[in-house]
Structure formats: structure tokens, C-alpha cells
Amino acid sequence: MPPRWDIIELLFFAYRDFVGDPDDVLDQFGFGRAHHRVVHFVHRYPGLKVADLLDVLRITKQSLGRVLKQLLDEGYIVQKSGAADRRQRLLFATAKGEALVAQLAGLQTDRISRALRDFKPDEVDAVGRFLSGMIDRDDPDKVLQAILGADSGMTRE
């Protein structure tokens, strides 16, 4: 099987520019890419546990610690003790956090919409199936399962 140089390199450049938009905004907040990832997933999956976040981001708790603390201190995220298990710290985005996520997602959505402009529904669907297919399936990751599970029919509104 010959290497798919085309896709390999397109993925590199596409991802480079895809994360480049948020990076510029994050700089103004004194944040980095790590902060974006954390506040994004907390906003999207309210009540996420610290352990879930570690699974999703594939980093250690020590790495997550500093970034999470900053987001808590500056009021982008709050944490509540779990009702069933009070050891757990369930994470939620504040209005401030939601606003930041929305701003960054807006930039990325603009880019995606531009790329998908004039795509037929089944072409959009193919893009979604490709990206899903690129992801490891043997992954005991709750968030990931939620995404992949909800992923039938990319053309829904």
C-alpha cells in the first residue's frame, strides 16, 4: 500500500490552520491551547469529572492541574462535589467560560463552513465518516463514545 502523502500532508496543514485561529484569541487572554481544550470539553459535557478530562486529553493530572486551576481562579469554570460520590469534582463552565468557548468555536465553525460550502449532504456525511474512522475505537472513553454514538447522520441540524 503506497503512502497517502496527500491526506497526510493535508491533515497537517488543515489542523495547523484550524487551531491557529483560536490561538490568536487565546493569546489575548493569556491562555494557551491547553486552556481551550479544557474549557471546551467542560462546556460541552457539563459535569465532566477530572478523570474524564484526563482520559480525553491524554495527559497527566499534574499537567492538567495548573491549567485547570487557572480556569477556576479566573472564573471560567466552577466545580461541585458529586452527589453520589463526593470525592468527585464535577466541572461546569460559567457564563464567562461559555462565552469564550463560543467565540473560539465561532472561528472554527467559520472555517469549517467555508470548507463545506457547496458540499452536497452526502459529501458532508462522507467527511464525518472519514474523521470518525480515523479515531481509535478501542478507547474506553465516555466523551468519545458520546461523540461517536451521536454520529449517525452528519447532515442533521
CA distances for 4 relative to 1, 8, 128, 136, angstroms: 9, 6, 19, 19
Mask of contacts with DNA, 69-98, x by CB under 7 A?
x---------x-----xxxxx---------
Please pick, from the candidates 67, 77, 100, 104, the single residue that binds DNA as defined by CB under 7 A: 67
Size of the site for DNA (CB under 7 A): 27
Inter-residue contact 89 to 81 (CB < 8 Å)? yes
> What residue 14 binds from DNA, its own copies, none (CB within 5 to 8 A, per partner kind)?
its own copies
Q: Select 88 or 132, whichever has its Cβ closest to DNA.
A: 88
> What residue 102 binds from DNA, its own copies, none (CB within 5 to 8 A, per partner kind)?
its own copies
Q: Select 8 or 83, whichever has its Cβ closest to its own copies.
A: 8
Please pick, from the candidates 12, 14, 33, 103, the single residue that binds DNA as defined by CB under 7 A: 33
Inter-residue contact 52 to 142 (CB < 8 Å)? yes
Per the DSSP assignment, residues forming a β-bridge with 79 are: 91
Q: Go through the chain and tell me how many residues it has.
A: 157
> From edge to edge, which strands make up the β-sheet containing 77-81?
48-49, 89-93, 77-81
In the complex, minimum distance from the CB of residue 90 to its own copies, in angstroms, rounded to a whole number:
20
Establish if 131 lies at the interface with its own copies (CB under 8 A). yes
CA neighbor of 39 nearest in space, from 116, 81, 96, 111: 96
Q: Select 6 or 73, whichever has its Cβ closest to its own copies.
A: 6
Supply φ then ψ for residue 93, to 5 degrees: -80, 140
Per the DSSP assignment, residues forming a β-bridge with 81 are: 89
Establish if 35 lies at the interface with its own copies (CB under 8 A). no
Inter-residue contact 48 to 90 (CB < 8 Å)? yes
List contacts with DNA (CB under 7 A).
30-35, 49-51, 57-63, 65-69, 79, 85-89
